[in-house]
Amino acid sequence: MEDKNPKDDPEFRNKLDEGVRKTNAFAQYSSLGFQMLGTIGLGVWGGVKLDEWQGNEKPLWTIVLSLVAIGASLYLFIRGLPKP
Amino acid sequence: MIRSLFHKIFLSIALFLSTFAVVTAQHDEHGHAEGEAKKEFNVGEMIMHHIKDDHGWEFAHGLTLPLPVILYTQDRGLEVFSSSRFAHESTYNGYVKEHNHIYRAGAGGEPDKSVKVYDFSITKNVASLLLSAVILLLVFFSVRNGYEKNKGKAPKGLQSFLEPIILFVRDEVAKPNIGPKYERYLPFLLTLFFFILVNNLLGLLPGGANLTGNIAVTMTLAVITFLIVNLSGNKHYWAHLFKPTGVPVALLPIMIPVEIVGVFMKPFSLMVRLFANITAGHIIILSLLGLIFIANNLGGEGMGWGVSWLVVIFSLFMNLIELLVAFLQAFIFTLLSSMYIGSAIEDHHEPDHGVGYEGPAAH
């Protein structure tokens, strides 16, 4: 009997690659949410700490840094999207 | 599909629990009027007790394996005693245990938080970690010996069970994502995969410790990935971080910090995902089981029995999902680690902004 590795069959290989590609994309999507969450959280935390440290009456740093962090998280999110 | 199913189940549980919350609140008022007949069952407390670390390993109620408590304080030096000393009363030898933390006892027996107590105890999680290390070593030495014994022949026993998994990590995870230099990182990726897998599965056993649902453990794993990615990053990787092409100079003061934050957020997402998935799974199963006791408290024994068959079916189903999640999370952690490594060491610099995604066909 011919000893054949199914991975050498181009059709099977293509299907397998497609599956791997989909899985990789899924894995990347699943980490993007946590990355956004972490980025925004870091920005807000940094802003609150800076305001505390400077004793600001109006939480300017919190406002500015949380908005910057939202922008940064969107930027990192778009950049982190898997390539088609 | 599984996800939407998951959401539906979770939603129904949440709704179910929230209706009980109102009923319990009303019940409370009655309870006080009647005088406290039985001890209040607290689901939240029960869940936290199961998912948190502890001195001493409680397999079942009344069956606790005492573990060594190792303390270091500046004035008294190193002290070692059994965790069973805290079993009946919370003070021993000048130490107080409160909410799983050990403090120096003050004059009146209350915790004196001004004295720094370094706690190096072999806790439940540490014991589970050591157990998993022993399991991994035994399994993989047996696999290694198998390759020596069956050289040139078909694999046997454990070896034939693990060979496809090892080859899967090599061929479908490391090779396509890291590229030609994959062999250097394979030991790390395989260790990562099997460590997370074995600890996820150990955590599913009744009485098991929730090791991969401990954020310190997942943080350690993520920090190791972070170090490997950044220590093996080549000049393209660093150039991309500090000298991105096509970005106006005026934007650099914003872009460089954003890029640096992005570098830290990758391992952060690894840490949070593993922690959140495992902890959430444990909480769902435990709250399902808690329903029996809530029903028992509300409507007596009959209601407890009446609810329990439904709970058994649901928790069985959740356990199966957890089994899937145990494999999936080990796989995803390994996959993303290899993707991050791959993006740090790729030779040609493509304007793909360091995502480093290439189809598996590229290699």
pLDDT digits (tens, 9 = 90+) for B226-270: 999 999 988 888 888 888 777 888 888 888 999 899 999 999 999
Position B186 in a domain: yes
- Structure confidence by residue, pLDDT tens digits, B181-203: 899 999 999 999 999 999 999 99
Interface membership of A54 toward B (CB under 8 Å): no
Residues of chain A in contact with residue B258, where contact means CB-CB under 8 angstroms, are 72, 75-76
If asked whether residues B203 and B333 sit together in one domain, one would say yes
Residue A28: list chain B partners with CB under 8 A: 336, 339, 355, 357
- B223 and B324 fall within a common domain: yes
Question: Could you tell me if residue B50 is inside a domain?
Answer: no
pLDDT at residue B53, as a whole number: 86
Residues of B in contact with A39 (CB under 8 A): 261-262, 265
Interface touch A30/B273, C-beta < 8 Å: yes
- Both B295 and B183 in one domain: the answer is yes
Residue B61 has pLDDT above 70, yes or no: yes
Q: Does any CB of chain B come closer than 8 Å to the CB of residue A34?
A: yes
Give the mean pLDDT of B288-292.
90
Q: Using an 8 Å CB-CB cutoff, list chain B residues near A21.
A: 359-360
The pLDDT value recorded for residue B17 is 46
How does pLDDT run across B301-325, given as a tens digit for each residue? 888 888 899 999 999 999 999 999 9
Cβ atoms of residues B270 and B333 within 8 Å: yes
Domain boundary among B119, B143, B160: B119
Query: Which chain A residues touch B264 with a CB distance below 8 Å?
Result: 38
Asked if residue B27 is part of any domain, the answer here is: yes
| Angle B210-B42-B282 from CA coordinates, rounded to 5° | 25
Q: Please, is B276 exposed, middle or buried when counting C-beta atoms within 10 Å of its C-beta (0-12, 13-18, 19+)?
A: middle
Q: Do B352 and A83 touch (CB under 8 A)?
A: yes
Determine whether the interchain pair B339/A76 forms a contact, defined as Cβ–Cβ distance below 8 Å: no
Whether residue B93 is found in the same domain as residue B176: no
Does A17 lie at the interface with B, CB-CB under 8 angstroms?
yes
**pLDDT for position B16:** 46
Asked whether residue B191 falls in the same domain as residue B255, the answer is yes
For residue B32, the model assigns a pLDDT of: 44
Residue numbers in A near B360 (CB within 8 A):
17, 20-21
pLDDT of B27 over the 80 cut: no
Higher pLDDT, B363 or B65: B65
Chain B residues close to A75, C-beta within 8 Å: 258
Q: Kindly tell me if the per-residue pLDDT of B278 is higher than 60.
A: yes
B101 and B229 share one domain: no
Same domain assignment for residues B103 and B230: no
CB B258 within 8 A of CB A76: yes
**Contacts across the A-B interface (CB distance below 8 Å):** 74
Interchain pair A75, B177: CB under 8 A:
no
d(CA B53, CA B111): 20
Instruction: Say what the pLDDT of residue B18 is.
Output: 47
Please indicate whether residue B347 or residue B255 has the higher confidence score (pLDDT).
B255
- pLDDT category of residue A2 using cuts at 50, 70 and 90: low
Interface residue B172 vs chain A (CB under 8 A): yes
Q: What is the arithmetic mean of pLDDT over A30-41? A: 90
- The closest CB to that of A24, out of B264, B339, B361, belongs to B339
pLDDT the model gives residue B129: 94
Task: Give pLDDT tens digits for B115-151.
Answer: 888 888 899 999 999 999 999 999 999 999 988 888 8
User: Is B252 in CB contact (< 8 Å) with chain A?
Assistant: no
Does residue B327 belong to any structural domain of this protein?
A: yes
- Angle ∠(B71,B73,B79) on CA atoms, nearest 5: 40
Contact of B258 with chain A, judged by CB distance below 8 Å, is answered with: yes
Where is the domain boundary, B100, B119, B138?
B119
Task: Please write down the HEC assignment for all residues of chain B.
Answer: CHHHHHHHHHHHHHHHHHHHHHHHHHHHHHHHHHCCCCCCCCHHHHHHHHHCCCCCEEEECCEEECCEEEEEECCCEEEEEEHHHHCCCCEECCEEEECCEEEEECCCCCEECCCCCEECCCCHHHHHHHHHHHHHHHHHHHHHHHHHHCCCCCCCHHHHHHHHHHHHHHHHHHHHHHCCCHHHCHHHHHHHHHHHHHHHHHHHCCCCCCCCCCHHHHHHHHHHHHHHHHHCCCHHHHHHHHCCCCCCHHHHHHHHHHHHHHHHHHHHHHHHHHHHHHHHHHHHHHHHHHHHHHHHHHHHHHHHHHHHHHHHHHHHHHHHHHHHHHHHHHHHHHHHHHHHHHHHHCCCCCCCCCCCCCCHHHC
Cβ of residue A41 closer than 8 Å to a chain B Cβ: no
Higher-scoring residue by pLDDT: B71, B111: B71
Q: Do A75 and B339 touch (CB under 8 A)?
A: no
pLDDT of residue A8: 73
How much is the mean pLDDT over chain B? 82
Say how many domains are in chain B: 3
Supply the ipTM of this predicted assembly. Answer: 0.82
Mean pLDDT estimate for chain A: 85
Structure-model confidence comparison of residues B4 and B13, the more confident one: B4
Same domain, B11 and B152: no
Same domain, yes or no: B229 and B90 = no
B35 and B73 both lie in a single domain: no
Contact B61, B70 (CB under 8 A): no
Percent over 70 (pLDDT), chain B: 85
pLDDT, position B140: 93
Domain that includes residue B95, residue range: 66-119
CB A20 within 8 A of CB B168: no
For residues B227 and B40, the model is more confident at: B227
User: Do the Cβ atoms of B289 and B323 come closer than 8 Å?
Assistant: no
Q: Is residue B45 part of a domain?
A: no
Q: In angstroms, rounded to a whole number, what is the distance separating the alpha carbons of residues B213 and B53?
A: 10
B165 and B293, same structural domain?
A: yes
Whether B80 and B183 share a structural domain: no
Residues with Cβ within 8 Å of residue B21, at least 6 apart in sequence: none
Distance from CA of A4 to the nearest CA of B (A): 16
Q: What is the pLDDT of residue B15?
A: 47
Q: Report whether A75 contacts A57 (CB < 8 A).
A: no
Domain limit, last residue, from B54, B84, B119: B119
Residue B258 counted as domain residue: yes
Classify residue B51: in a domain, yes or no.
no
Q: Which of B176, B261, B269 sits opposite A42 (nearest CB)?
A: B261
* B56 domain residue, yes or no: no
